[in-house]
Amino acid sequence: MLGSVVLFLSTIHAFYLPGLAPNVFCRKAVEDSKCKTKVEVFVNRLDSVESVLPYEYSYFDFCTINDEPSPVENLGQVLFGERIRPSPYKFDFLKNDDCHLVCTKRFSSSDALRQKMLKRLMKGMVLNYQQHWIIDNMPVTLCYRNTENQEFCSRGFPIGCYVTKSGHSKESCNIRDGKNDTFYVFNHLDFEITYHSGQGETWGSAFGEDGGRIIAAKVQVNSLNSEKCDRSAEPLMFQSTAKDVEIPFTYSLKFVKNNDIRWASRWDYILKSLPQTRIQWFSILNSLVIVLFLSGMVAMILLRTLHKDIARYNQMVDADDAQEEFGWKLVHGDVFRPPQRGMLLSVLIGNGTQIAIMSLITLIFACLGFLSPASRGALMTCAIVCYVLLGTPAGYTSARLYKMFGGEKWKKNVVMTAVACPGVIFGIFFILNIVLWANGSSAAIPFTTFIALLALWFCVSTPLVFIGAYLGFKRPVSENPVRTNQIPRQVPEQTLYTKPLPGILMGGILPFGCIFIQLFFILNSIWAHQYYYFFGFLLVVYVILIITCSETTILLCYFHLCAEDYNWWWRSFLTSGFTAVYFFLYCVYYFATKLEISDGTSTFLYFGYTLMLTFILFLFTGTIGFLACFWFVRIIYSVIKVD
């Protein structure tokens, strides 16, 4: 048996995830089918922290190439506005180059189209647009020392800088003694490509010192008014009133060997520039304190108060005792009375279940390394595919609830589950896409992608919702632990803290307190264009959020039942769902204090996308709170004796 296991293990080989296998490069002199001699540079979209509108590389009329096919982009890349294109920057491996002229762009005052392109370039420098280039699936980074003498590497580099009329410029502007109201184009790039030669590695034995794997690609930007890369030349500058401008684009290239860093660790120097993990641990500890506090409260209620209540209620054997019922047992005849607008509630719960399962599966895949930063667009693609394929749980949950509420319009329930909530998200997305298209942004998805999304919705997700609903309606109705009275009981006057609105307002604070630190990093990854790779922390926070939403809703539900208010259905959903409102308010705070967005279009897009995220979080947290409260109510009323 042991020999068989050893034999099996000996046949196992290591593998690389799709698209992440390392490339081996070599000189022309040892050209081989197993290695590449050309180092290709791909260009991606340009973006800015001062604008939500990303643009394609060709939008600003840089040096381009049109006779080569572009890499195939996945659905996530298209939705995020990534447009990876080939470029005329092509390097021979291990061949240094002191100066290379790529192209020269001329903007003539007599050409209206060229003047339009010049104005675009000026606007891009005013808004500090950043270029994103890719070499061997690695971002070309701009590295510099910060005030603490630590190396910080940004995955983008500016196209230029603008010195205002008052003499102010951006931090990325490295021009000394810049003139007021002047544009400086960073037309010269100094590339430094670091590689591992393969010394001591099995894959490098065939190439010796003439091959290697790229482990870093860095760049420094300069403004040189020279086609020969003359370092003593004046910067390439022009006033805002300039009409005739000529811009030569040049670069230099240097290869550096470093065998201390292996290919598998080549992303480390970029990720080290991101916020340190100690902040993440503080976030986790902060959330755990809240969870422990809530867990203690729930344990006290369940083990002490609730246990005593159940024991006392079950000891009531005669009619006189029954007349003295008080607390949550008083409403046993109304606690399972179907809520108003049960159709809408069941639809929201069904879609919330779909989102909850989708987010869990996506986080698990991310923690396993399948959705790393090297796999561009994989996170969004995985989320959409999982959401589409999870239509069955949505239809099943919605149908089961609606049938329990006594609903008879099952066809309407199925259609609303499949269309209502996705329709809201798709409607907002469609409006935002029109705005992006009108502004020529690369984030505007093509018509064919829209058709593909609609096909996924109506041809995959909707049939799965119908299947789930069929299974849900086919099953018998779940019997409630207690009978419901025919005449509704009057709810007594409530105190301030047991009224619906104060309870809902309080219910969202604690769950939001568990996630607000993590939200800062997530919003930075979206709007400040930073990598997010703390998926392990995020999974822990995800679990903590579920526990917090559940315990908060159970606590408030118990207090309301003790106050003889049996209207818990909608309240349990809205209590934890109100976390999304605090999320929206935090996004407003983030917009006002962290971002530098000033134009109306970007503001509209920011709050449009924020509204989509808020609605998704509302469905998710509301569903968690409802299901927890639903389980709690069924448990406590199933263990008491009711005549």
Query: Which ranges of 273-377 does DSSP label H, i.e. alpha helix?
Result: 277-300, 306-314, 319-323, 342-367
Give the N- to C-terminal CA distance of the chain in Å, as an integer. 63
pLDDT for 5-25, tens place per residue?
333 333 333 333 444 678 889
- Return the pLDDT at 76: 87
pLDDT for 211-242, tens place per residue?
889 999 999 999 999 898 988 888 998 988 88
CA dihedral 220, 140, 277, 49 (to 10 degrees): 80
pLDDT reading at 323 higher than 80: no
In this prediction, residue 309 has a pLDDT band, given cuts at 50, 70 and 90, of: low
Would the pTM of this model clear 0.75, i.e. be above it? yes
- Return the pLDDT at 6: 36
In this prediction, residue 375 has a pLDDT band, given cuts at 50, 70 and 90, of: confident
The residue count of the chain comes to 643
Chain CA centroid to CA 598, Å: 23
- Return the pLDDT at 1: 36
- Crossing angle, helix 535-562 and helix 277-300, to 10 degrees? 20
Considering only residues 35 and 360, tell me which one the structure prediction assigns the higher pLDDT.
Answer: 360
Residue type, 333: G
Residue type, 42: F
pLDDT for 329-361, tens place per residue?
777 777 888 888 889 999 999 999 999 999 999
- Which residue in 181, 182, 187, 186 sits closest to 238, CA to CA? 182
Q: Do residues 28 and 117 make contact, with C-beta atoms less than 8 angstroms apart? A: no
- Which residue in 457, 446, 306 sits closest to 384, CA to CA? 457
- What region, left, alpha or beta, does residue 364 occupy, with left being phi > 0 and alpha being psi -120 to 50 degrees? alpha
Q: For the residues 321-329, what does the mean pLDDT come to? A: 57
- Return the pLDDT at 5: 34
pLDDT for 135-177, tens place per residue?
999 999 998 877 777 778 888 899 999 988 887 877 777 777 7
DSSP 558-576: HHHHHTT----HHHHHHHH
- Mean of per-residue pLDDT scores for the chain: 85
The two structure tokens encoding residue 407: 């609903």
Q: For the residues 623-636, what does the mean pLDDT come to? A: 91
Q: Do residues 179 and 168 make contact, with C-beta atoms less than 8 angstroms apart? A: no
pLDDT reading at 29 higher than 80: no
Whole-number Å distance between alpha carbons of 643 and 640 = 10
Whole-number Å distance between alpha carbons of 568 and 337 = 10
- Return the pLDDT at 11: 37
Burial class (CB in 10 A: 0-12, 13-18, 19+), 345: buried
- Crossing angle, helix 391-404 and helix 410-438, to 10 degrees? 140
